[in-house]
Amino acid sequence: MRRYVRFAFIGMVAMWLVSFLPPAASTLATALVVGVGAAGGALAQGGRDIISLALGALLGTAISGLTQGLGAGGPDTAEVINGSVTVAAVIAVAGTVSFFVTDARRPHPPPDKVGDDVDG
């Protein structure tokens, strides 16, 4: 459980920090979103880690969007929801791809040989 909370917290803080970028740096923000997903997928030990990372990013994006929306000229609620879901989906896809690529590179343990009849 603690591991999932860490992944969610990392996703939330990363997306909260992305919200401080100016709107002109949207390419940099996109690269950071994909990078967080890829890094999280490389460190993940299973699908639940990636899901918790994506949910944390969803929460972080929603919080920062709603905070900016409280001021004048900020995004409305529909834009915040749409952006938060998009960010979570991008992180989930990037994390899943990175997880499977990293998993394919990891050496797997040799198969267990049980008994005298190993050769068949």
- The full 3-state SS of the chain, as one line of letters, equals CHHHHHHHHHHHHHHHHHCCCCHHHHHHHHHHHHHHHHHHHHHCCCHHHHHHHHHHHHHHHHHHHHHHHCCCCCCCHHHHHHHHHHHHHHHHHHHHHHHHHHHHHCCCCCCCCCCCCCCC
Number of domains in the chain: 1
Could you list the residue range(s) of the whole structural domain that residue 84 is in? 2-105
Longest dimension (CA), the chain: 77
Per the domain annotation, does 118 fall within a domain?
no
User: Would you say residue 110 lies in a domain?
Assistant: no
Q: Is residue 119 included in any domain, yes or no? A: no
Is 87 a member of any domain? Answer: yes
Domain-located, residue 44: yes
Structural domain includes residue 41? yes
pLDDT in tens, the chain (120 residues): 888 888 888 888 888 777 777 777 888 888 888 988 999 999 888 889 999 999 998 888 888 888 877 766 767 788 888 888 888 999 999 999 999 998 888 787 777 776 655 555
User: Which residue has tokens 């834009």?
Assistant: 79
Look at residue 63 and tell me if it is in a domain. Answer: yes
Is 92 within a domain? Answer: yes
